[in-house]
Amino acid sequence: MDTKRLEELNLRHLWWLLPVVAVGGLFYLLSPILAPFLFAAILAYICNPLVERLAGLKIPRTLSTILVMVFLFGLFSALLLIMIPLFEKQVSLFIERLPGYLDWFRQHLAPWLKSRFDVELQFDSAYLKQALAEHWQSAGGFAAQFLPSIKSGGLALVGFFVNLVLVPVVLFYVLRDWNLIVARIDGVIPRRWHEQVSAVVREVDEVLGSFLRGQISVMLLMSLFYALGLWLVGLELALPIGIIAGLLVFVPYLGMIVGLTLATLAGLMQFQSLGGMIPVWIVFGAGQMLEGVVVTPWLVGDRIGLHPVAVIFAVLAFGQLFGFFGVLLALPISAVLLVGLRLLRKSYLKSSLYR
What is the SS3 string spanning the chain? CHHHHHHHHHHHHHHHHHHHHHHHHHHHHCHHHHHHHHHHHHHHHHHHHHHHHHHHCCCCHHHHHHHHHHHHHHHHHHHHHHHHHHHHHHHHHHHHHHHHHHHHHHHHHHHHHHHHHCCCCCCCHHHHHHHHHHHHHHHCCHHHHHHHHHHCCCHHHHHHHHHHHHHHHHHHHHHHCHHHHHHHHHHCCCHHHHHHHHHHHHHHHHHHHHHHHHHHHHHHHHHHHHHHHHHHCCCCCHHHHHHHHHHHHHCCCHHHHHHHHHHHHHHHHHHCCCHHHHHHHHHHHHHHHHHHHHHHHHHCCCCCCCCHHHHHHHHHHHHHHHCHHHHHHHHHHHHHHHHHHHHHHHHHHHCCCCC
Q: What is the mean pLDDT of residues 320-345?
A: 74
196 HSE (CA, 13 A, CB side): 8
Residue closest to 334 by CA, chosen among 215, 186, 185: 215
The structural domains of the chain, with segments of one domain joined by +, span: 33-118+129-188, 197-355
Confidence class for position 20, pLDDT limits 50, 70, 90: low
Residue 151 phi, psi (nearest 5): -70, -30
Sign of the CA dihedral 187, 188, 191, 192?
A: negative
The answer to whether 214 and 300 have CB atoms below 8 angstroms apart is yes
Three-state secondary-structure class, residue 127: helix
In whole angstroms, give the CA distance from residue 328 to residue 318.
9
Going by pLDDT thresholds of 50, 70 and 90, the confidence category of residue 153 is: very low
The reported pLDDT for the residue numbered 124 is 57
Question: Which is higher by pLDDT, 347 or 3?
Answer: 347
**Coil, helix or strand at residue 155:** helix
Does residue 233 contact residue 283 with C-beta atoms inside 8 Å? yes
Residues 239-281 have pLDDT tens digits of 888 888 888 887 777 788 888 888 887 787 777 677 778 899 9
What's the confidence (pLDDT) of residue 290? Answer: 87
pLDDT at 307 over 80: no
Q: First-to-last CA distance in the chain? A: 15
Is pLDDT above 50 for 147? no
Q: What is the pLDDT of residue 225?
A: 93
